[in-house]
Structure 1
Amino acid sequence: MNKKINFINITNVNKNVVRILMLYFVVTTQLMSIIYTQSVTGISIPELSLFDDAMVSVMDEYDLTAGILAVSKDGNVVYQRGFGNDIQTEIPIPENMPMRLASVEKPLTAAVIRDLASDGFFSLNDFVFDLGQLGGGILPSGTYFPYDGRIRDNRLANITVNHLLQHRGGWDIFLLDEQNDIEGETGSFFDPQMEAIRIADKTNVTSPPGREVTVSYMMSQPLQYMPGSPPCNKDSLDNCLTIPAGCYCGFQYSNFGYMLLGLIIEEVTGETVATQLRKRILTPEMWIPETEIFTGQTLYSDTDPREPYYIDSGIWLNVFDPNGDLVSAPYGGFDLSSWQGHGNLVSSATPILKFLDNYVVIGTNIGGTVGSWSGSGFNAHNGAMPGTNTIALRHGDNINIVVLFNQRNDDALNKLVDMLLDLINNWGYPQTWPTFSVDGFWLDFNATVSGFGGYDDPFHTMETVLASTADGTKLRIRPGSSNWAGKITKKMLIDAPFGTVTIGK
């Protein structure tokens, strides 16, 4: 049935209101049959209800089971909601559920690297490998040297920290597929981070080989271009026009390069990427507790209880038992512990929103500090691997967006981002941004059992709060009372945004 809406007496005063009403009519008539078919958790924000609609629409269209959408404005987390249910526990997804970040970790690693450089641990122009060159390198030759004792490419000595940051370390996974010395078909590309079993076989070690052996194998292989070489000219279809001497056709995205950055962090500090990140970039002083961003684990039995079940249709060889049964790709198809620096962090949305307030997430200055800007421009870094699809998007006017999904579907993520940007850029949505901050853990003394601290599954006792949280926790308490008496020894920011709370005997 065709419908017609007549708007009369439209003035400059109500023009924007009509525009929003027209958009709302279009969206709701398209989505009316599917709104709220997903479980939705977190505080409902009426001013941002079309974000709910967009998320539900995309998840239903692409049959996604669990997702988080979070938005900040002017430094406040004004929207954070969970959608869907965990397929293992069947519980609704809490809005503060942590998920694997995949490559959204890369700008975080870059920020740590730049901070360490500014503190004098090394220079961005320092060489990565210590191969006898003037000045040496950061990673010692006693640990990092070709597994077979043979350096096939002397240009390894030219790779700098800055080359790794900018994905210009000399590796091209598409050409490396043809040039590596592993026999057999590996596919259209050779990413060493996904080739644990083959590398273990080649180097005669037990799978998974781990980072040091992976580096030793890669040091025995040729580079595909001169590290740091500039990009050449391209045509309108992004094809190289010419490749003069010393020129390469753009940077080549490298997970391996960022794994090396993770190793550099560990080499100079003696601590993991996650630990240094929490000390330098996303700290308890910023109200980011260690419970909200941490190192992930490969096997389902080892994952944090708050994480969802990661879904993927792929059934892969088990890197921990290559001759055993096949496994679901997210749980043994790769060794997540070896992905430090480029893809093994787990985080809720809030830490990433806070990161976006201050740091560049893409480009040659990735991980550098940056101020805000006005307008519709944005930059973003996405992450994707079996069981994970994520994006961290930094928009003009101090708007940040984070999306976390527990399964990979690039089309779904792209469509959601397009819908959100269309609302913000083309429709001026929302007309007024809310200012209430919705992040943090929740406590409700009237609840009968404790959940994971989300708005709809709150903690129900102070004892549970203290056992489940860490320094830098924001604790939001719903109206109620408790006779609890004790000592809080953790750094906490406590408020009761919706009414009076009485604690004590």
Structure 2
Amino acid sequence: MYRAVTDLDLRMLERRVDALLAPWAGQHGPGVTIGVVLEGRMAVHRHAGLASVEHDVPIGPATRFRIASVSKQFTCAAILMLAAEGKLSLEDEARRYLPELPEYPQRVTVSHLMHNTSGIRDMLEIMRHGGADLGTPIRLQDLVDGICRQRTLNFAPGSRFLYSNSNFLLLGLIVERLSGETLESFLEMRIFAPLGMRDTRVTQNLQEAIPHLATGYFPDDQKGWLRAPHAFPLHGEGGLVSSVQDLALWGHNFTTRRIGAVWLDGLTTQTPFTNGAVNRYARGLVVRPYRGVETISHGGLWPGYRTEFLRVPAQGVTVIAISNSGASDPNLLAHRALDAVLDGRPGVHPVPALPGREAVEKLAGRYLDPETDSTLELALSDQGKLTITTNGMTVTAEAMEDGRFASPRGSSVFALRAAGPDAVEVEQDAGTIGLWHRVTPGDSLPEGLTGSYHSPEMATTWTVTEAEGKTWIQASGPVATGPLWEVEPVQGDVFRLHVPGTLFRSWLDVRVLREHNQVVGLEASGGRVKHVRYNRLAGSPETKAP
């Protein structure tokens, strides 16, 4: 049973949400909108900031945003509809419907795609390996081609979790092939129209003019704003525009079951890994505990747009936070709004306190996992909190009830604790635990690195040169030739390759491969693409840039 909500509760909630929005209020820049739904009713819906900085248009109740990966649950819903109609089985091999996929070493099923356990490499990172960023104009077929070139997987299907946009593009294509309709038409007729979600639609073409759509922005170096560049087509992985009002209708449908009574629970069904460990990623939704209650959520990130869709079914609460500022954190805002609802309710745990500044300072440094060659940065923020950076993505750690630090509120597990003065114990998905060792700064780059290297799977050549006392790599791929990327030593034959991008400055962890002490290749791993081999081209000379 839900706790009755009083008028005093609502006034307190309104003030808490207004306080969360205060940094954007009265500022001539993009902003945030937050909606809190209690027991099926929009209890609070507040906004701050501008939908269009150029035209001074404020964010309002009907403002639409690109909700990016929050789209994934709708693609999964379409698959579950088709399964309920007997048009496919979730245990069918994906190649049955997508014969252009290669024959992988292990069988990849539709279910693997939905749970992010397929091992198929992420298409956005595949493009990044070839020098293309999200602002590079490409076609949908370029993404499909990149996926289909891969002959190896990140891991054996079902054994691990790794977020991959490729999974949901492929699911969207399956929907289209089995239904004979576009994904846009299918979702409109089957979900959006029946629920009255008038602000929601699939928009694959980013050039299409959409009424009431907020413009996405990034901050510039002069305390102003720039339009966020994006040119990749969008599909089942992130193609929806929507609004807080529409997402509230969708969230309420999980209670009313106006549509999907047969298949709706399938969206939150979890399938364990092959070792029996829990996978918190269900089907386009993440199921995880927070303060002793079960939450169901998903975030969205696209240049200039950030979204959090967060439900606590047992408490009758849904929180939706959306922003058109790339510098905002709707995930954090949504959880702070949820805290305002949960505080004082029976059975809700207090927010665990973070250790003091001294404990955080002792952890600060760079760490290397000797098993995977992955690197990790731990640092002390200006506020005295621990930040965790992996492959360039930085988050502020939250405390766990067992005293560990964790990457906050994510779709996967990343928790750590000190393991002596120069090591941390890191737990990741599928219960994988590793001991990462502190790296002493000041190492030099491996010798014999300059030359050219090629990956057939990426259809890309990397050229390593030296200039101005530094080492650089330039990628030439199937759709672009990228800028120079700086190479930074880590330890021994492991180095870091910095890849600036639209969303953030990412990095790849790279190991030099040797035979008879001669460099014969490179093996690169990023956040969502692992163990890509680049073979040194025959006769490739060591080169120095002029």
TM-score by length of 2: 0.50
Percent of pairs identical after alignment?
23
Deviations 1:197-256 (A, max 9, x none): 6599xxxxxx744233422332222323454232xxxxxxxxxxxxxxxxxxx3010011
Match of 1:418 in 2: 335
| Residue 89 of structure 1: how far off its partner (Å) | 1.5
Match of 2:39 in 1: 74
Match of 1:307 in 2: 213
Asked if 1:408 is matched to 2:326, the reply is: yes
Structure with greater proportional helix content: 1
| Residue 307 of structure 1: how far off its partner (Å) | 0.8
2:213 is matched by which residue type in structure 1? E
2:151 is matched by which residue type in structure 1? P
Asked if 1:274 is matched to 2:184, the reply is: yes
Asked if 1:354 is matched to 2:249, the reply is: yes
Match of 2:158 in 1: 229
- Pick from 293, 297, 321: which aligns with 2:201? 293
Unaligned runs of 5+ in 2: 255-263, 271-279, 347-546
Work out whether residues 80 and 96 of structure 1, in 8 Å CA contact, stay in contact via their aligned partners in 2. Answer: no
1:192 is matched by which residue type in structure 2? I
Alpha-carbon distance between aligned partners in 1 of 2:285 and 2:49, rounded to the nearest angstrom: 35
Alpha-carbon distance between aligned partners in 1 of 2:205 and 2:16, rounded to the nearest angstrom: 31
Work out whether residues 167 and 257 of structure 1, in 8 Å CA contact, stay in contact via their aligned partners in 2. Answer: yes
Asked if 1:98 is matched to 2:98, the reply is: no
Alpha-carbon distance between aligned partners in 2 of 1:260 and 1:156, rounded to the nearest angstrom: 18
TM-score by length of 1: 0.54
Asked if 1:88 is matched to 2:58, the reply is: no
Alpha-carbon distance between aligned partners in 2 of 1:196 and 1:311, rounded to the nearest angstrom: 25
Residues 437-452 of structure 1: pairs in structure 2 closer than 5 A: none
Work out whether residues 311 and 386 of structure 1, in 8 Å CA contact, stay in contact via their aligned partners in 2. Answer: yes
3-state DSSP of counterpart to 2:94: strand
1:96 is matched by which residue type in structure 2? A
Work out whether residues 34 and 334 of structure 2, in 8 Å CA contact, stay in contact via their aligned partners in 1. Answer: no
Alpha-carbon distance between aligned partners in 2 of 1:199 and 1:215, rounded to the nearest angstrom: 16
- Pick from 340, 343, 346: which aligns with 2:238? 343
Alpha-carbon distance between aligned partners in 1 of 2:48 and 2:321, rounded to the nearest angstrom: 11
Work out whether residues 18 and 46 of structure 2, in 8 Å CA contact, stay in contact via their aligned partners in 1. Answer: no
Match of 2:305 in 1: 388
Describe the shift of the 1:58–1:304 C-alpha distance in structure 2 as closer, same or farther (beyond 3 A): same
Work out whether residues 99 and 346 of structure 1, in 8 Å CA contact, stay in contact via their aligned partners in 2. Answer: yes
Describe the shift of the 1:369–1:95 C-alpha distance in structure 2 as closer, same or farther (beyond 3 A): same
Asked if 1:118 is matched to 2:36, the reply is: no
1:416 is matched by which residue type in structure 2? L
1:167 is matched by which residue type in structure 2? N
3-state DSSP of counterpart to 2:218: coil
Describe the shift of the 1:208–1:353 C-alpha distance in structure 2 as closer, same or farther (beyond 3 A): same
Structure with greater proportional strand content: 2
Work out whether residues 100 and 344 of structure 1, in 8 Å CA contact, stay in contact via their aligned partners in 2. Answer: yes
Alpha-carbon distance between aligned partners in 1 of 2:133 and 2:341, rounded to the nearest angstrom: 47
Asked if 1:398 is matched to 2:398, the reply is: no
Alpha-carbon distance between aligned partners in 2 of 1:278 and 1:425, rounded to the nearest angstrom: 34
| Residue 163 of structure 1: how far off its partner (Å) | 0.7
Describe the shift of the 1:61–1:268 C-alpha distance in structure 2 as closer, same or farther (beyond 3 A): same
Work out whether residues 273 and 341 of structure 1, in 8 Å CA contact, stay in contact via their aligned partners in 2. Answer: yes
| Residue 328 of structure 1: how far off its partner (Å) | 6.4
Deviations 1:27-83 (A, max 9, x none): xxxxxxxxxxxxxxxxxx746422442332353699962222112222223332332
Describe the shift of the 1:274–1:193 C-alpha distance in structure 2 as closer, same or farther (beyond 3 A): farther
| Residue 369 of structure 1: how far off its partner (Å) | 13
Alpha-carbon distance between aligned partners in 1 of 2:206 and 2:228, rounded to the nearest angstrom: 7
2:231 is matched by which residue type in structure 1? F
Alpha-carbon distance between aligned partners in 2 of 1:214 and 1:367, rounded to the nearest angstrom: 20
2:327 is matched by which residue type in structure 1? N
1:79 is matched by which residue type in structure 2? V
Asked if 1:257 is matched to 2:257, the reply is: no
Match of 1:473 in 2: none
- Pick from 144, 166, 175: which aligns with 1:215? 144
Describe the shift of the 1:364–1:404 C-alpha distance in structure 2 as closer, same or farther (beyond 3 A): closer
Work out whether residues 83 and 89 of structure 2, in 8 Å CA contact, stay in contact via their aligned partners in 1. Answer: yes
Work out whether residues 293 and 348 of structure 1, in 8 Å CA contact, stay in contact via their aligned partners in 2. Answer: no
| Residue 280 of structure 1: how far off its partner (Å) | 2.3
3-state DSSP of counterpart to 2:149: coil
Alpha-carbon distance between aligned partners in 2 of 1:419 and 1:161, rounded to the nearest angstrom: 35
Deviations 1:445-497 (A, max 9, x none): xxxxxxxxxxxxxxxxxxxxxxxxxxxxxxxxxxxxxxxxxxxxxxxxxxxxx
Describe the shift of the 1:375–1:72 C-alpha distance in structure 2 as closer, same or farther (beyond 3 A): farther
1:390 is matched by which residue type in structure 2? T
Work out whether residues 112 and 158 of structure 2, in 8 Å CA contact, stay in contact via their aligned partners in 1. Answer: no
Match of 1:161 in 2: 110
Match of 2:524 in 1: none
Describe the shift of the 1:211–1:307 C-alpha distance in structure 2 as closer, same or farther (beyond 3 A): same
Describe the shift of the 1:401–1:170 C-alpha distance in structure 2 as closer, same or farther (beyond 3 A): same
Describe the shift of the 1:117–1:364 C-alpha distance in structure 2 as closer, same or farther (beyond 3 A): farther
Work out whether residues 32 and 322 of structure 2, in 8 Å CA contact, stay in contact via their aligned partners in 1. Answer: yes
Alpha-carbon distance between aligned partners in 2 of 1:314 and 1:258, rounded to the nearest angstrom: 32
Describe the shift of the 1:341–1:227 C-alpha distance in structure 2 as closer, same or farther (beyond 3 A): farther
Work out whether residues 114 and 367 of structure 1, in 8 Å CA contact, stay in contact via their aligned partners in 2. Answer: no
3-state DSSP of counterpart to 1:312: strand
Alpha-carbon distance between aligned partners in 1 of 2:129 and 2:248, rounded to the nearest angstrom: 32
3-state DSSP of counterpart to 2:120: coil
Match of 1:59 in 2: 24
Describe the shift of the 1:196–1:100 C-alpha distance in structure 2 as closer, same or farther (beyond 3 A): farther
Q: RCO greater where, 1 or 2, for CA within 8 Å and sep 6 or more? A: 1
Match of 2:74 in 1: 108
1:345 is matched by which residue type in structure 2? L
Match of 2:379 in 1: none
Q: Look at both structures and tell me which one has the larger radius of gyration over its CA atoms.
A: 1
